[in-house]
Amino acid sequence: MIDQTPPDPYVVLGQLVVIGLIHAGLTLALLWINRAYGDRPFFLKGDWWRPASVMIGLSVLSGLIVTGLSMAALQASVMTVLVINAGFLTLWFLELALIAGQRFFTALFGDDLPREISIFVGFVLATNGGYFTLMFIAALFRPQNL
Residue 39 has phi, psi (to 5 degrees) of: -95, 180
Distance between CA atoms of 19 and 23, rounded to whole angstroms? Answer: 6
What does the pLDDT look like over 13-46, one tens digit per residue? Answer: 999 999 999 999 999 999 999 899 888 888 888 8
What does the pLDDT look like over 90-140, one tens digit per residue? Answer: 999 999 998 988 888 888 888 788 888 888 999 999 999 999 999 999 998
Give the dihedral of Cα atoms 78, 83, 86, 88; nearest 10 deg.
Answer: -100
Give pTM, 2 decimals. 0.85
How many Cβ atoms are within 10 Å of 9's Cβ, its own excluded? 8
